Structure 1
């Protein structure tokens, strides 16, 4: 064991990695949650309780959580979930609101959300059992485009929306390039397709409201190569292993193989999550296009276009 803080895991040997990272790769929890477990003195290495996450280890089997040995990593799995409006993307909510884990069906492995969607936002939410992969997919450096269908009250000016490609500062926060294009109009409302890479907290709503357009519906239809497709609210579909291997290059990973085999979660692990199918396309470097809105089976993305005829001026 080493107390070096090299996050690349290069301390005391090429195989040494941070304890929190190894816990996440074993599917126990996310990296950040693993660091909290360490701070709570619940993690030990060789029976020595850790007091800091700045520790690297060369063998995951030396790690215990609440006295239990770290489980072997499960095969990496990703699920597509159509998050309904009105549920929180968290495990527990102090306000007692319904969470995604109450909506997800039984029988799934313990899953973690890749990024979040606000309470009133809906659409595609990726779920994975791999904490390290979760962190990787959330980073802006991954370069994956998040695409949304946004209904706003008003009549956005196309030239004004085009300026968002240069980025914009709202209340002191700088947002990167955003591609926003008017799609259709229905009475006092307008549907706008928005594509971005950062996906910061409430980014779409804040930017639109800064321009003077109040968002009354927000639907995420794509996250990188994965599409919402024709999935209904609450529906879950697993991404096939072959698609994961093609899109994420996980087949070459010596630590975690792509597959669908199930493994028992360790004691004190989170609630489980659910399965879903993949969505076509290559790691999202192309903005929205109707031809790209097809799932791996070639199904037309019906959900990408919410019913614009439903008026709503609230």
Structure 2
């Protein structure tokens, strides 16, 4: 009986907005606390509020049309863009650079302002959160240009994990690809990327990162995408690559 009543009431508004591609549930809960979300014209006071198909929901007074088919894109993020919808410093954002007609999307994880390369985008906030989880075991691979003397033994030691300024980092696979003078290119791979992890680990090894490019995220490669280019991943590819319990290709219930 409890499930039937929940079905009649619809979805919790944070879940509904996440599946509509507005943001992650955590960010939506923050938006609700900031009184930016309205249901049928009234400010939403609690994330446990329920939404049905007949309700009108808005964020920042913009009407949200509700969940659509789950979609996923590969995007080559250029240097100089922040991965956020609103930047308090007024810096250009990834989402401001989306082409006309692009639905509202959220990113799967983030890339720093000065980092480049593959960024996955989706119109389903719940999927974004799911694909970020370390439990997926997805490898994130990077090409990293550093300045300084590279110690290959230290690089190999990162596979055991490390601790820097009290922060513990999991295993990192790192290898020297090429060296020219004081500059070198590395391939670095990890399964759980903490904030600015690669840069902080490199600094601890007396290496300065001058360029950082993500070349793959799990089964999805950057491929031949040029900076600023965007390409949708076909639903049939998504079905074979992402967790089986995620509904792909059918309209998600509002």
TM-score range, shorter chain: 0.7 to 0.9
Change (3 A) 1:243 1:23: same
CA contact (8 A) 1:123 1:219 kept: yes
Determine whether 1:84 maps to 2:75. no
CA distance in 2, matches of 1:46, 1:216: 50
Deviations 1:201-260 (A, max 9, x none): 10000001111111111110000011011211111111111101111156x65xx5427x
The reply on whether 1:101 has 2:92 as its aligned counterpart is: no
Q: Give the gaps of 5 or more residues in structure 2.
A: none
Query: What is the alpha-carbon root mean square deviation over aligned residues?
Result: 2.9
1:22 and 2:13 equivalent? no
- Contact 2:235–2:248 at 8 Å: present in 1 too? no
* Aligned: 1:258 with 2:249: yes
SS in 2 for 1:105: coil
CA spacing shift, 1:13–1:110, aligned 2, 3 Å: closer
Partner of 1:175: 169
Using a 3 Å threshold, how does the CA distance of structure 1 residues 21 and 195 change in structure 2: closer, same or farther?
same
| Stretches (4+) displaced over 3 A | 10-18, 40-50, 66-72
The alignment of Structure 1 onto Structure 2 pairs a total of residues equal to 247
Q: How does 1:280-295 map to 2 (within 5 A)?
A: none
Answering whether residue 27 of structure 2 is matched by residue 33 of structure 1, we say yes
Per the normalisation by structure 2, the TM-score is 0.85
Select the structure that is richer in strand: 2
Question: 1:24–1:131: 8 Å Cα contact kept in structure 2?
Answer: yes
Summarize the Cα distance change of 1:81–1:24 in structure 2 as closer, same or farther, 3 Å threshold. Answer: same
1:225 aligns with 2:219: yes
Q: Return the offset for 1:14.
A: 7.9
Contact 1:43–1:63 under 8 Å retained in 2? no
CA distance in 2, matches of 1:27, 1:98: 20
Q: What are the equivalent positions in structure 2 for 1:228-239 lying under 5 Å apart?
A: 228-239=222-233
- Secondary structure (helix, strand or coil) at the match of 1:231 reads coil
Q: Please state if 1:121 is matched with 2:121.
A: no
Query: Matched residues in 2 for 1:37 and 1:93: separation?
Result: 14
Instruction: Report the Cα distance in structure 2 between the residues aligned to 1:116 and 1:229, rounded to whole angstroms.
Output: 19
Aligned match for 1:151, one of 145, 164, 167: 145
Gap runs ≥5 in structure 1: 3-9, 262-314
Pick closer, same or farther for the CA change 1:153–1:42 going to 2, 3 Å: closer
Residue 125 of structure 2 corresponds to 131
Q: Tell me: CA distance 1:93–1:164, structure 2 relative to 1, closer, same or farther (3 Å).
A: same
Counterparts of 2:40 and 2:87, CA distance in 1: 35
TM-score of the superposed pair, with normalisation by structure 1: 0.70
Structure 1 residue 140, shift from structure 2 partner: 1.7
Render the CA deviation track for 1:83-135: whole Å, top value 9, x for unaligned. Answer: 11112112232323222133332221111111111111111111111010111
Q: What is the alpha-carbon distance in structure 2 between the residues aligned to residue 205 and residue 111 of structure 1?
A: 27
